[in-house]
Structure formats: structure tokens, C-alpha cells
Structure 1
Amino acid sequence: MPPELQPPAPAEAQAETQAEKAEVQAYFESTGFERWNRIYSDSEEVNRVQRNIRIGHQKTVDAVLAWLQQQGDLSSRSFCDAGCGVGSLSLPLAALGAGSIAASDLSAAMVAEASRRATEAGLASGRLSFTASDLESLQGRYDTVICLDVFIHYPQAAAEAMVKHLAAMAERQLIVSFAPYTPLLAVLKQIGQLFPGPSKTTRAYTLREDGIVAAAASAGFRPVHRSLNQAPFYFSRLIAFERDPA
């Protein structure tokens, strides 16, 4: 295999991952926070691309909330919202009466905004907690672990490892979303139409669904629900996994 095609050594890969995480964190503590806080709000100060991303992300959140409501008895369940952003999922989930929600995000600025929104909405309580943390550092056991639109920052191997890590924290259910790899989306990404520079300045990854499903299966989870939520400039595969009773 030519040197330029060989995968990086483990130490090199880990260093690259850490460097990219630092880049993402720095972005969401500065201009990224301002941009995405506007996108995930009712602000009119968004362009057409950002508005469509808002619509697409809300479709994903709404789908998750609908699934959870169909299952019923949210008050007896514990949830981990891994990569909570400004609370787009945590806040409506708390409003529906979830037993407890541990929400976290890599960006302290995002966490502070999510907490502010919870207080403003009258949802701040001991049942809803916010912490600044990367996904790798999360610990604990929850009925359901949810990670929405965060894997965009993870290449395939790292995303699969993260699925296994989050699955180890889930007693019953794991719900994840990611930008799915397809030849068409790969072409769109290459020509800059899927994730244009003015709307996003960190690297964006599309993931192969079979790898994500295999990673969950290795942790004892099977897919029970799938949907593809999209709007112009937003494509997200949403999969709900349940622990295999066998």
C-alpha cells in the first residue's frame, strides 16, 4: 500500500483526534456558538442554509420525542442527552415529564445557554442537569442514551467506538443520528454544497450506516426504528436501538 494511503498509526490517530476535538471545542466557544445558537432559536438572523438546518434538526428532535412518547411512562425513566447543544432535546423532554435528564456538551458556552433556556422556561430542577464534557468522558447508567447530530465531528472508526461507549451506558435504549454516507452526498460534500463554509467551519463527516449498526450490535443492541430526516443542506439518519434480550 502506498505510504499516502496507509492508515495512521494508533498514536498518530489519537493525536489527530485530540487535535480535532480541540478545534471543535474552540469553534463552539467562539463564532460557532454565536452561529449555532441563532440556528437553534427563533432568531430571524439566519440565512437560507441555516434556516433549513434548523428545520432538519427539529425534524430529528421531533421524531425522537414522538418515539419516546409512544413508549409512555417517561416519568420513571432516566435519560442521557450526550451532546445536548442548547437543549433542543433536553428541554422539551423535561417538559414531557422525563424522570431525570443528564445533559452534556463539549462546549461550556452551549451548556450555559441550555441552562439559561431551562431556567427561562421554568424547567430548571434537580431532574435536569447540565455539564460541560466530551463524549469520551461521560459515565453512568441510564435507561436511554441519546446522541443527536454530534457524530458529524467523528470519522467512521471513532464514531463506531463512540457508539460502543454510549451503548455501555444504556440499560435499555440507545438513539443516535448521523449524516449517512451515500455516493450522492459524498459528491455534494466534495463540491461544498452539503456543508458550505459560511454555515460551518469545522470538518464534517458522513458515516456508513452498516458500521454504526455493527458497532451497536457488538454492544448487544439491535435497531428497532429508523428514519431519514432531511431538509436542504441537512441529512440525518436516525436509528433507535434496543438492548437485545438474548
Structure 2
Amino acid sequence: MNAADDKTIVQDYFNSTGFDRWRRIYGDGEVNKVQLDIREGHQQTVATTLSWLTYDGNVSKLSICDAGCGVGSLSIPLAQDGAKVYASDISEKMVAEAKERAAAALSNTDNLTFAVQDLEALSGRYHTVICLDVLIHYPQDKAAEMIAHLASLAESRLILSFAPKTLCLSLLKKIGSFFPGASKATRAYLHREADIVEILKTCGFTVQRQDMIRTRFYFSRLLEATRKSS
């Protein structure tokens, strides 16, 4: 199955059974133990990203693209902090949910724009481009193309998360324990950190900060890379 088929599967999944499952995971309602574990892992990834962005004390001056925004877990707090945020997701249902959550959380959404759009169709220029928990849907060759495209949109910084390809996680994935659940319907691609770093280097970016978010069922390597000065 080619990457185009993968994208169609992801889009269909997150507009149907996957949407209901992940809306619960990304929310604060009751979920099962596995979903709760994944929720906590994702929240740690979002929290770490926010801490990196707020460390410099200039979030309100930044333009940010949240590529693959899901239900707005990152976009909404960034907008609350005053950043100008463009948030997109391939799933129409995810974007609709994100808009509802933003309307409930923000008194003014003028600095927050949501769009139904896949990563390849993104355009424009942003100080910072962020793409969390999306690379897992891309095989290596398409991941390289996608990262290069996102890098072309970033004036200064690119923040990515991905499921690292290690022996342990490869074995877990092989036996079906990686993102378990009856509603699992998309492929889970793991990526070697060295390969991601090399792609970033080719695009003119250098890794500045990194973290590993690990729970029982959630594994995510988080990288912040900045554009090399000419």
C-alpha cells in the first residue's frame, strides 16, 4: 500500500471511528487504562513543547503553524498566550472539534485560524512550525519529504515528535502492542532518530533541544531544531 493510500486511510479513520476514540483520549472524560496512559503521554508532549516555547518569553510575538493540530490541544493554549496560530488537520471532524474547544476556552479567537488541510498542502511562512504525533503515519521516504516541506515554511524553528525506532519498540510494534486497541486502523511507522536529525540537517536546521516522552503505551521523541544562520 502506497503513501497516498496511507493518507486516505488516516483521513477516513479520523473522520469516523478514530475521531470518537481520539476525541476521548484528547479530552478529560472517562477512558480506559490504555487510553488514559496515551492521554497522559500526549499531554506531556504538549506540555514540554509549550515550556520550550514560553522559555524565551516572546510567545505573543510569534507566528506559529500547528501542523496536524488534532482537537487543538497545543493551538488553543498558544493562542491564549497571544501567539498568532494557524492550525490545520487532515480530519474535518478534528478541526470542527478544535473550533468548538477554542470557542469555549477563548474570549477572542482572532489570532487563531483553523483549516482542514493535509501537510503537503500547507503554505506560507511562520516563525515556528510544529508537528506533533503525525510522523507515525508516514513511512520513511514520505516523512523526509514532509519534514522538508515543513522546514520550508519555518523561518526560525521546527519542532517535531515521532515514535523512535528502537529494538524494544520495534518488537512491541511487531506483536501488536504499539498503540493497542480494537479501533486501531492505521499503520504505525517508527523512525530512527539519526535519520530525522540528518533530514533536518539537510534542510538547514540544527537540533537545539530534545526530550523523550515515555509512558507504558506512548513513546515519543521530541526535537526542537533551529535554522542555521547564513
Match of 1:166 in 2: 150
Match of 1:29 in 2: 15
CA distance in 1, matches of 2:221, 2:182: 24
- Unpaired segments ≥5 residues, structure 1: 1-14
Match of 1:132 in 2: 116
CA distance in 2, matches of 1:64, 1:136: 23
Contact 2:61 2:82 in 1 (8 A): no
Report the Cα offset of residue 123 of structure 1. Answer: 4.8
SS at match of 1:198: coil
2:44 is aligned with 1:47 = no
Give the one of 46, 51, 64 matched to 2:49: 64
Contact 2:128 2:156 in 1 (8 A): yes
Match of 2:59 in 1: 74
SS at match of 2:79: helix
Contact 1:49 1:199 in 2 (8 A): no
CA distance in 1, matches of 2:29, 2:108: 23
SS at match of 2:123: coil
How many positions carry a matched residue from both structures? 230
Q: For the structure 1 residues 60 and 123, does the alpha-carbon distance in structure 2 shift closer, same or farther, using more than 3 Å as the test? A: farther
- 1:202-246: CA deviation from partner (whole Å, max 9, x where unpaired): 111111111111111111100000000011110000000000114
Structure possessing the higher radius of gyration over alpha carbons:
1
2:139 is aligned with 1:147 = no
Report the Cα offset of residue 200 of structure 1. Answer: 2.4
* Runs of 4+ residues deviating >4 angstroms: none
- 1:49-76: CA deviation from partner (whole Å, max 9, x where unpaired): 1110000000000000000110111111
CA distance in 2, matches of 1:244, 1:198: 44
CA distance in 1, matches of 2:107, 2:94: 17
SS at match of 1:59: helix
Match of 1:19 in 2: 5
CA distance in 1, matches of 2:45, 2:183: 19
Q: Normalized against structure 2, the TM-score is what?
A: 0.97
CA distance in 2, matches of 1:22, 1:113: 20
**Identical columns (%):** 53
Q: Normalized against structure 1, the TM-score is what?
A: 0.91
Report the Cα offset of residue 94 of structure 1. Answer: 1.1
Give the one of 83, 91, 106 matched to 2:76: 91
Q: For the structure 1 residues 235 and 199, does the alpha-carbon distance in structure 2 shift closer, same or farther, using more than 3 Å as the test? A: farther
CA distance in 1, matches of 2:107, 2:45: 22
CA distance in 1, matches of 2:125, 2:186: 31
Report the Cα offset of residue 124 of structure 1. Answer: 4.5
Coordinate RMSD, CA, aligned = 1.1
CA distance in 1, matches of 2:87, 2:40: 22
- 1:87-141: CA deviation from partner (whole Å, max 9, x where unpaired): 010011111221x100000000000000010001125522100000000000000
CA distance in 2, matches of 1:208, 1:123: 42
CA distance in 2, matches of 1:80, 1:201: 27
